[in-house]
Structure formats: structure tokens, C-alpha cells
Amino acid sequence: MPDEMGNSPAVAVNPFTAADVVGILAERGWVVGELSPEQVTWCDRAAAILGPQAADRNAFAELLGLVFHYDAREILSRVESHAVLSRYAARDVLRQLALLLLEGAGLDSDRFKEIITALKDGLDIRGRELFHPIRLALAGRAGEGELDRVILLLDEAAGAGFAVRVKSARERILEFCAGLD
């Protein structure tokens, strides 16, 4: 949609392809041998939704790494994690998020939108107080919207049978909540 000056907003260019995803996954040992059709589909999707979020290959690989590596103990040991958890209603967000993830279907874009809407309505919280605890618990760090895209890849990656077992959103929230004091 053009702005008031008639200029179209900048669209992020995606310099990455599924081949880049496969290359990064192979370098890290997250895929071995020929990819299954599910893995190829996932790599295409990962390139499409994470690629525009990354400034360079290292940033792209870091975002992919958030899908394949998750350790709640490690996440909870970081000072910046405690800063997020000490914010207003962070634990309420996590409690409700866990209940919603455990009661519903797998996490996809539509389900994620439903969960966010339910949290906004139920807790009357917006902005970083809502999103940072979600991103911390599911993506492994607090941050901006690129982490939401990581979250959207979790359940599909968990079911694709990669060489490294990917933890689903449900598994992550359970592990995260179990690690809380």
C-alpha cells in the first residue's frame, strides 16, 4: 500500500533459497544424504520466511539454528532471559501459552494467530510484555518479529524427520516451564 507520498513501502528482498538452507543444514549435520519430500518442502518454506529477515548468511544460519537447537536449561541460565521473565505478567503469558499449546492442534500460522489473539484478549497485554516471553520460550531468545517466523517453522520441522530431532512448540513450552523456578 503506497504511503502518503505515493511511495510503495520497501519489500525485503530474499537473497536465500532452499539450496542455501540445505547447505547450512548439511554443514551443521542437521541433514544427511538425500532429502525427503517433506524436508524439501520445509527448506523451501524456511528460505521463504526466514530469508528476508536475515542480513547475511551468518544471520540466516543463526535463525535456522534456533529451529534445530533448543535447550531450556541453557536458555534459562542467561541473564537476558531473567530480564524478560521479570517483566510484568511474563509468567502469566507463559502459563496461558502452555495451556493453549497443549489443548489445540499443532502450531501453524493460523493457530499462532489464534493463540496471540487469545492471549491479548485474556491477559490484556500487548507489545514486548506479550511477545518476548513467547519468543523466549519457543524460539530460545527474546527479540523481534523474525523470531515469530522461527516459531512458525517448529512443528513442521519436528515432523519432517531431520537428522537432528527438532522439538515441537509443545515440547519446547513443556521443557521451558519445567525449567522455571
Per-residue pLDDT at 8: 44
Q: What are residue 115's phi and psi, to 5 degrees?
A: -65, -45
Task: Assess contact for 53 and 146: CB atoms under 8 A.
Answer: yes
Per-residue pLDDT at 165: 93
Task: Please tell me the pTM assigned to this model.
Answer: 0.89
Q: Which amino acid makes up residue 76?
A: L
Task: Assess contact for 113 and 148: CB atoms under 8 A.
Answer: no
pLDDT digit string (tens) for the chain, length 181 residues: 444 444 444 556 889 999 999 999 999 999 888 999 999 999 999 999 999 999 999 999 999 999 999 999 999 999 999 999 999 999 999 999 999 999 978 899 999 999 999 999 999 888 999 999 999 999 999 989 899 999 999 999 999 999 999 999 999 999 999 998 6
Per-residue pLDDT at 149: 95
| Alpha carbons 55 and 142: distance in angstroms, whole number | 18
Q: Length of the chain in residues, anyone?
A: 181
Per-residue pLDDT at 140: 96
| Alpha carbons 157 and 162: distance in angstroms, whole number | 7
- Residue 12: which of 36, 47, 62 has the closest Cα? 47
Per-residue pLDDT at 11: 52
Task: Assess contact for 151 and 138: CB atoms under 8 A.
Answer: yes
